């Protein structure tokens, strides 16, 4: 008879824990302001993988770079830390859930803007030990830029568009963890 008494108490504690949300995050879905960790593979319309957090996927696609850490991305949903379409796509997903998405340029890096090809003095690059060549990727701060042309010995035309501007992007996302914001 005492067993039934303990069983009732155990069930009561479990019900209270479930009601209080202490039973884990198995049913939790991503909402704005959650911190999420996401594994992803991104590819272009032609199938070329342009970025991934998965080393195995990079190796299989022949784009593996030993200098890349291939780690899932962690960000606060709605903070603007990632491109808008990626941010929007995780909302409503649960831990372990995957989703394939297609992002148009306006949901990703914007349309390609020819006016963002700007002249830069060759001397500025040389002063920073940079010898530019057409199609080189350089960094303006942390932003990758591309050498578009070198019309003469004094001017370099630099394309300040993001390398993925104007492109439709495809992703497979998998939510690995969800952490709600801390209570204030």
Please identify every stretch of the chain with a pLDDT value under 50, giving residue numbers as ranges. Answer: 1, 3-25, 184
Residues 32 and 55 in one domain: yes
Residues 147 and 169 in one domain: no
Please count the structural domains in the chain: 2
Q: Does residue 11 lie in a domain region?
A: no
**117-121 vs 137-140, strand pairing mode:** unpaired
Side-chain-side CA neighbours of residue 45 (13 Å) = 7
* The two structure tokens encoding residue 119: 């002249």
Q: Is 10 helix (H, G, I), strand (E, B) or coil?
A: helix
Residues 81 and 143 in one domain: no
Structure confidence at residue 15 (pLDDT): 37
Structure confidence at residue 8 (pLDDT): 42
Q: Does residue 12 lie in a domain region?
A: no
Structure confidence at residue 3 (pLDDT): 41
Residues 85 and 173 in one domain: yes
With b for 16 or more beta-carbon neighbours within 10 A and e for fewer, the 71-108 pattern comes to eebebbbeeeebbebbbbbbeebebeeeeebebebebb
Residues 38 and 102 in one domain: yes
Residue with tokens 């998998």: 174
Structure confidence at residue 26 (pLDDT): 54
The CATH number of whichever domain residue 151 belongs to comes to 2.40.10.330
Residues 37 and 61 in one domain: yes
Q: Does residue 3 lie in a domain region?
A: no
Range of the domain at 96: 19-110+165-179
Query: pTM of this prediction?
Result: 0.76
Other CB atoms closer than 10 Å to residue 127's CB: what's the count?
9
pLDDT 10s digits, 78-127: 999 999 999 999 999 999 999 999 999 999 999 999 999 999 999 999 99
């Amino acid at each position: 008879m005492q067993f039934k008494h303990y069983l009732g108490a155990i069930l009561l504690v479990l019900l209270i824990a479930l009601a209080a949300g202490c039973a884990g995050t198995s049913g939790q879905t991503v909402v704005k302001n959650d911190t999420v960790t996401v594994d992803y593979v991104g590819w272009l319309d032609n199938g070329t993988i342009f970025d991934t957090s998965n080393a195995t996927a990079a190796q299989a696609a022949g784009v593996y770079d030993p200098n890349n850490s291939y780690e899932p991305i962690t960000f606060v949903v709605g903070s603007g830390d990632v491109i808008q379409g990626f941010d929007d796509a995780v909302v409503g997903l649960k831990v372990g859930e995957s989703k394939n998405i297609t992002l148009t340029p306006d949901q990703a890096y914007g349309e390609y803007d020819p006016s963002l090809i700007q002249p830069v003095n060759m001397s500025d690059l040389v002063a920073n030990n940079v010898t530019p060549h057409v199609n080189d990727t350089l960094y303006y701060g942390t932003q990758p830029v591309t050498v578009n042309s070198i019309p003469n010995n004094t001017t370099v035309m630099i394309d300040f568009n993001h390398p993925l501007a104007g492109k439709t992007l495809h992703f497979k996302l998998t939510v690995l963890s969800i952490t709600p914001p801390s209570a204030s």
